[in-house]
Amino acid sequence: MEEKLNNSEEEKMLAGEIYDANYDEYLLKKRLYAKELCKKYNELDVRDFDGKRKIIKKLLQKKVEQFTIEPNFYCDYGYNIILGKNFYSNHNLVLLDANKIEFGDNVFIGPNCGFYTSGHPLDYETRNKGLEYAKPIKVGSNVWIGGNVCVLPGVTIGDNVVIGAGSVVTKDIPKNSVAYRKSL
């Protein structure tokens, strides 16, 4: 499904501007293709490593080395995801990749985590029109992300960072840091 960027809504999406993903046939076609591949991936036998690799390669459209993504795995487009070497994600990874999501080398992600480049306007009139925006997410190398973590649009996580379980990451995390949500 490799196609050149030729759609104004897609250009707006990748530029971080407000765009319409709901009624744009080109974007809808790309999302449906990615969701079909995710469905196939999630239905594979757990021992079918070759099948998983082929689907991820087709979905991401980039070379991927040494990765494990436990099912279930979901994404919006796939082609905006970049995985470094030695990537591991536990079950239920969600990558809403309307913009780039880039992971460095040696990234380990706990279960039930989401990385969301997509956001919606605070103004309800604009939001009710189905408009949204997308800001890139970047995760450095040697990063460990605990279970049930949510990373929001536009966040950069530096190298050698640990994000504690249950955290909602709303702003950049500098390298060599530990960030977590305090217990209640």
Residue 120 falls in the annotated catalytic set: yes
Side by side, the strands of the sheet bearing 150-151 are 73-75, 93-96, 114-116, 150-151, 168-169
- Of 120, 129, 138, 175, the active-site residue reads 120
CA distance 44 to 140: 30
Cis peptide before 72 (omega within 30 of 0): yes
Instruction: Give Cα separations from 172 to 100, 105, 168 (angstroms).
Output: 16, 18, 11
Pairing outcome for strands 178-179 and 162-163: parallel
Give Rg (Cα) of the chain: 16
Residues labelled catalytic: 120
